[in-house]
Structure 1
Amino acid sequence: MAAMLNLRPIKILLALVTGVFVAATAYISALVMERQSALERVSRYNVAWLVGQATSEYTRLEQRVSAFGLPDSKISADEVRLRFDIIVNRLSLLRTGEVEEFVKADAEYAATIDALARALDAVQPYLEDLKPAHVPRLLQILLPVDARLAQLAAAANRVGGDRVADDQRQLIRLHWTFSVMAAGLIVCGIALIVLLAWHNRLLQRAHNEMKVLTNDLRVTSENLAEAHQEVQFANAELERQNETLVRRDRDLRTQNERFEAALGNMSQALCLVDAQQRLVICNQRYQAMFGFDKNLLKAGTPMRHLAEFLSASSDEGASLYQVYANQQILVRENRARTYFEELNDGRTVGVSHQPLSEGGWVATYEDLTERRRAEARIAHMAHHDALTGLPNRTLFHERMIAALERAEDGGGFAVMLLDLDRFKTVNDTLGHPVGDALLKSVAERLSATLRPGDLVARLGGDEFAVLAMDASNHDISQFADRILRAIAEPFEIGGHHIDIGTSIGVALALADGHAPDELLKNADLALYQAKAAGRATFCFFKAEMNLELQARRQIELDLRVALAEGEFHLLYQPQVNLTSGRITGCEALLRWNHPVRGPVPPSEFIPIAEEAGLIPAIGDWALRRACHEAAGWRSDVKIAVNMSPAQFKNPNLPHNVVLALAASGLPAERLELEITESLLLQDNDTTMATLHRMRELGVGIALDDFGTGYSSLSYLRRFPFDKIKIDQTFVREMTTDADCMSIIQSVIDLAHTLRMKTTGEGVETVQQKDSLQVAGCTDAQGFYFFRPMSGKQIADLLAPGANRETAA
């Protein structure tokens, strides 16, 4: 322990030695830095050197001036000027840095510098046009300064010598200081080694003393461990016995808690009865379900007391007595059974009765009323339309299967497919809530037309189906006519007066198909034929409709090939200004020359292309082709290209227009896109944004077939069209029908008010042309002027020197 106490002084000494090392190191670093600073001062350009250099250069200038004045001198004026520039530069150095400090220290030195500057200023004018005759005057100016500069150089040399001597003394002092510090560090290092050796010897002594103490403690600990072990043996037996008792108590308590939790959280009511028909236990659900008083449900209560309570209670309790009475039969027969009890109050209770081996029984009860109702609702939802409540496609299909099985025994039926006419227009213009309400009203009217045994279903959207049982063709025709009349009656929905209609396709069981899908497919073909016939009518399936379907599919396949094979081409119908008679534009018309069938009318292939989704690709081709051909026409002739609503669904349409214009070189103001009013009924905000983007590009927008749509005036207000095209149906009858003429006049007046041009379509007679001109129509097109022609014919027609007036 004494050795341990002696360690403290050693630690103090070690700390002191370490401190000395640190201080010495810091001081040596400072000395080194100071020595480096001194060396830097010695190595720098000093004042003596700068002043000496200036004096030397001044002397050279004098020599060059003197030599210049000698006959046949080889010294040129440029060399004299060079020396002058050098001494001027030296003068600037004498006015900066340490030299400036040296000069300012003595007024005489400063006067010398000023005299030098004045002499140089006096010499400079002579140097601009130096001649030998100027040499005496220049020497007269320069020589007085020579002696003063020599004195200044001598003084600078003295200052420089003093500074060098001082730097040498500083270097010697740093040398001896560094040597002393190095010796001191060596001495401190030796002292540190001695102290460490002494410290280690003291640590060894302390270690030996601790080893002796550790041995003593180990002996004492072994004695205590023997005594402690004997005590542990005595306590271990007691703890073991206590743990056994605690474990048994915990297990019993856990089992009781689990049993009570299981009973309390069961969704079913539970009742356990002994062999003497006395209550053993029940859960809270049993009490709540049967409405027993809590005091009545004590262990040992006879079951007949519970039965008496139920029979004397309210209607609900009396209904539950029915469960108890029916269960007594199982008790007497000692038979297990799981069954559903339908109570008189409309509830359903699930009962699971199980006899026990010692003579009692246990039963569970569950109120399944809501589950049964939910299952019934789910089953109804799976087979009925959520909006109208009518059977859906699934239930209709199941009923068709059952009807086909009966039809094999002689019971015929018909499948009728209905599709509402103009429903999409209602949905788009009045909104989906009105459309949904309309579908509900249609469902009600269809249900009212049914005969006993018939079934009407909603298959989806505005498509309905009717299963007409046990009816002849005549009956089906009358039934279909009754449906047409019912749907044709106006609907009043949310303050809107709505007129729609329906088309019906009919397929007869067995005659037109032996499977549900086949009958639906054939009824759909008949529906398509009914729509093609003008809507608001019905049509029975005929075998040749399949051939028509195959023909449509073949046209669709051929259309997919036609674009790649270059089978499409464009014709152009000129548009003529009614005032000047000149051609102002041409409308591009798409034509298809089928390799086998020859020319195919647009009215035949364009609807199929629209249904097949081919119009965007065909329309982009037509746009590019029309721009390409029109680029070679006269610069004041526009090209009009029809745009399909399907093309406006493409968000890249403005980009495609830009590409077509860029590829053809056609200015944007010469392109006019014609749209129909049906386009404006679609996604209105998106459509308007696209139209405005086109206008920003400089492309003109014309409203085609004006007056045949639904919301013309509102869209004229919202979008400033460049042109309105009056539909040919009005132009054709304008000379014979005063109403048509009034409509055309109103349209033209409206266009003038909105600063829009007008074009009359389908002009075939001079009377029609004159009437449009009198009404103020801007332009017109039709067979009266020109028939559609190829791009080359248009180019020839518009060529310089050609007859560009109308063909009338």
Structure 2
Amino acid sequence: MRVLDCLTQEHNLLLVALAALICVCGSIVTARMYRKTRESAGAARPVWLFMGAVAGGATIWCTHFVAMMAYSPGVETAYAPMLTAASLAVAVAGCAGALWLGSRRWRHAPIAGGVAFGAAVSAMHYTGMAAFTAEAVVMWSIPYVVASVLFAVIGGGAAFALAANAALKHRIALASGLLVLTIVSLHFTGMGAMIVMPFAPLDGSLTGDDASSLLALGVAAVGLLMLGTAASSHLLEEQSERLSRRRLNGLIEGSVDGMVVEAGGKVVMANAAFLEFSGADADVVVGAPISRWVEDADRIAAGVLVQSRLTPMTGEPIPVEIAVREATSDTDGRAVRIFAVRDLRARIAQERRISHLARNDSLTGLPNRSSFLEKLERMAAISEGGQGFALLAIDLDRFKEVNDLYGHAVGDHLLIHVSDQMKAALKPGEFIARLGGDEFVAIIPATDRDAAAEAAQRLIAAIVTPTVFEHADLQCGASVGIALWPEDAAEPSSLINNADLAMYRAKASITTDVCFYEEAMDEAVRQRRRITQGLREALDQERFELHYQRQVSIETGGVTGYEALLRWPQPDGSYISPVDFIPVAEDTGLILPIGEWVLRRACAEAAQWDEPHRIAVNLSPIQLSHVDLPRLVHQVLLDTGLSPHRLELEITESAMIADMERTTHILRQLKALGVSVAMDDFGTGYSSLSTLRAFPFDKIKLDRSFMAELDGAPQSRAIIRAVLALGESLSIPILAEGVETDAQLSFLREQGCDEVQGYLLGRPSREAPRQVETAVKAA
């Protein structure tokens, strides 16, 4: 009641309201300055400490002296200038010390700083009261003084503790209110402690009421100006921080990765991507440690890319990649860590897909060649000295027909169907892979031939299972070659080769679709390889020879031309038969350079003969299918100087029927060069009469097989007569090959044959023909 009576009866309430306004504004500014001082570090802390000391000291001092100006004890009052100034210095210095102490990092620093603030307010108040002078005796009530000091230190400690509690919402408002209550409680309790007993007035040294009011307004104006300056600085800083925060927020929100800003061990900012990863709202994430979501986040060093796991609120952990960057805040000096969190689920799925594609066939899903080779190496290593296994090489039959007839999409469907059927037919421990196209391999842990054959038949039964696609009934067969480990090979590569050899044998067979490897197959392959290598060497070193066989007119007995025959001599003086090496040359493609060599050498040598005899050169079906053949022949004729009418090119019927339209077009180009074209081996082809109708040949060569059967087969005589009659009716000369006896020659002469060729008229010779003609009339 004493305090209330002092407030209501002895104070100018308007000035009291002004003092209250200063106190409220100053308390808010002081609380904010304390927060900035506590959060800052480095060069920023002394600045905020100074601003806080000035703001807090001005608040205390202006509140005190405006309230003192409102005090009217009934006598004239005045204030000693030196003590008044000293009270301001006490307020500023005390606030500086309190803010410095309260911003320390140890646990109870806020309370200690608040107590120091309360002590500073008390010291300022009673220093200012010591400057009070009046025409009276001033006495003090010690209990009230003690109560006012207790109010100050307790309230100050509580206010600083509230301001320092970062987890408390509206902490600045609560701390500001408590500071106002602390200052007001101290002041008016302290005023209640003062007892003024008037006596005679002083000699005019005291101020009047009007002067006190003007002085109060001046003090208030100065105080508010100082608080406004501090508040403006704080607002500018807050605006700068908000702008920086918006920029940072825009930066991290623009990232597709999760971005988190952590300061002081707590998340202060997180973008939408991270919130989506974590499955939590922003108010849950902000303020919590990032280790709540990211595993081992506290131990991740800056500048290192680390893979970790993110545990969302619900669901399975997410594999993530973490990059951390450390920085120091310019305003608060705290260590700031920026986390970039990248979701690895898509990348891991892609890597798994790439790994799957690297080891599996993209169409059927079966293991590919790489997986097969690894499996085979592993099986070979495991089976050494133990149980063996069988390797099955599988090639689909009639698959090309499906592709050609229905297209690749249907062919792919059939491959998928076949693969699914074979996978379903596998037993535990069995392995199947697709090598490419329609080639498959299987590894069967079979101990004998019977088990391997059973597995092969089981897979064939699965393969031949029909399917329907786009209203088409699809089905194919299979040829299987089997090689056993370790009986048939000592190396995995040899086992593969042997299984392939057996498969090719099964494919060529018309009686079985499963063949086991036999050693004779390997010998045949080695022989074929030796021939291939020898052909290459003979071509490079020009070890081939041309032998010439006469072609003689039956009517005149004179030589009409020579046929160039290719021979391959060996170092021991023997020759490899063309029957053995020509098919190999055709299969390997070597027939093209060999055929060009024969054509060029035959034309060059014929151009040097004394007599302009015709030279006949055989063409392989491979050569005839080449579109550059007319250009090659033309170029050879130009290079060698041989007249085109002296060159005769011999082709077989089988070469024509492979592609009648294309072959006929090439032959017409050759005829346009002036070269003559003969049909070789007539009578052994597939469709002789249709071939003669398709192209006007310059000569027909009757196959030697009819001459060999002339004496023992009446049918051969009839065929020869028919062919000769056909040639006469078509005006095409007939040359009979393989004439070896006088009886054969006499028969041909009687039937009107035009020309003959054979051992009776001369064996093929390496020497160039001389200017000599062989008479055959006597024969």
Q: Of Structure 1 and Structure 2, which has the larger fraction of its residues in helix?
A: 1
Query: TM-score under structure 1 normalisation?
Result: 0.48
Query: TM-score under structure 2 normalisation?
Result: 0.50
Higher relative contact order (CA 8 A, sep 6+): 2
